Every structure is written in C-alpha cells, then in structure tokens.
Amino acid sequence: MSMNLFSLSSQVAVVTGGGSGIGKAMAETLAGAEAHVIILGRTQSKIEEAADEISSETNAEVTPLTCDVTDKNQVSETVARIMNDFGRIDVLVNNAGTAAYGKVEEISEEDWEHVFNTNLKSAFLMTQAVVPHMKEANYGRIVNTASVAGGVSLFFSSVYGPSKAGLIHFTKQLSGELAPYGITVNAISPWFFKTDFNAESLEDDDFRHSVEQRTPIQRTGRLDELKTSVLYLAAPGSSYVNGQNIYIDGGMTSFGL
C-alpha cells in the first residue's frame, strides 16, 4: 500500500483544543504527515507555545488562532479567516472538551451547560461552519474526540458521559448525511491517557490501580498509541471508513467483570 494514502501534504487541518493533551498530540501527528495545522483554543499564550513546540518537532508550519468554539460568532469569523488565508479546510478534528464529575444531584445546571457546550455544541458549530467548504471541495475528513464514557457507564459521569454519547451519535448521523459529498465523519473514544487534564487523578495510587484493573492491558495509554488513529481517520487512505467510533482503550470496553 502506498504511504501516500496517509500523507496530508498540501492539506489544511484544524484541531480544536489543540493547545495541550490529546489535542496537541493529534496536531503534532497531522503536522508530521505534512499538513498545515491550525490549532484553536481560548488562551493565546497556550496555543502559541504548543504551535512553536509542534513546529520544532515536525519542521511544519503550525498556526495558532484564538477562538472560543462554543461561540457561534467566533467560530464563523475564525473559519472565514482560515478560508481567506489558506483557501481550504480538508480535516477538522473536534477535540475541545471538558468534564464535571459528581452524583446527579450534585451536578449544577451551570456544570451541565458548560460540559455540553464544550463537548457537543462546539463540534456542532465547527462542523456547521466547515461543511459548506468541504462540500464545495467534494472532500473532507471530520474526526470527533469522544470517550469510552460515551459508550459505557462510569462512576460520577452523569454529565460527561451523556455529552460524549451525544457526540458519538452526532458522528453517526453526519456520516450518512455528508458521505455523498466525499466527506467522512468518524470518532475515537479514548480511555485513560495521561495528560495535564487527568495527571492529578492518575497520581493517586488507588485510582490509577482501579483504572489498570479495568484494563486488560493493565496500564494507561501512551499518547503515541493514540496518534495513529487520528492520522488514519484524517488521511485519504481511510476513504471507506465512515460513521465509526473507534475505542482506544486497551480492551477496557470489551472486558467483562
């Protein structure tokens, strides 16, 4: 198989929440495949630092743009700017995410709205803004970062889990709607990968042990083990993969009690 099927040379890829953690790892992977990567985030200093680090690692051009992806006006303005500056968007990675944990009676309305706006509404707004340009090009790859919590029940996940389940169904819904235009839509659902987001939790020996016990591979994931998944789904070579949610979980979701 030609490796050109997994080259993103001359393509433009947009990664939301690309300033740290999983999003940054994805952006680095796409840049390494020769895409021009644009990372979106709310904190300019954070995404600028990430862009510099990715450029140093890959020798690729990476553009940081400040954007609150839960704000329709900011999303519209940012996508218009990208199209004006680069003329195309080939890959969209909807990765921006957050969480709130607790028993259902402990979750505030503000928690619910913040999590759903960040995890689901942002993907809707970004996709809505980008799809017309992908349709015009008759090509596109959309990759959504979901979670194992969207497919299985986890303790104290009464808002995070439903938001990710919604993102998984959004993925399936769009896969049929957009396929006639050469656009595929898929999701990846990670289990525990150590990032700044969850580092404190994983430093707790009891918690980390409970995670490892639920995972057949008996450890948390490494970010390099996630990178190949986003490259596969973002690349031309995955043209017949559509509407799928790929668990990157060391076997956790297939493991019974």
101, 139, 160, 181: which one is catalytic?
Answer: 160
Residue 106 buriedness (CB in 10 A; 0-12 / 13-18 / 19+):
exposed
For residue 160, indicate whether it is catalytic.
yes
Q: Are 49 and 25 in contact (CB under 8 A)?
A: no
What is the radius of gyration, based on Cα positions, of the chain? 18
Q: CA neighbours within 13 Å on the CB side: how many for 5?
A: 9
Residue type, 94: N
Please name the helix (run of DSSP H) or strand (run of DSSP E) that holds residue 170, with its range, or none.
Answer: helix 160-178
Q: How far is CA 182 from CA 15, 57, 241, in A?
A: 20, 32, 12
CB atoms within 10 A of CB 136: 12
Residue type, 158: S
Pairing of strands 91-94, 140-145: parallel
In angstroms, rounded to a whole number, what is the distance separating the alpha carbons of residues 171 and 7? 24
Catalytic residue set: 160
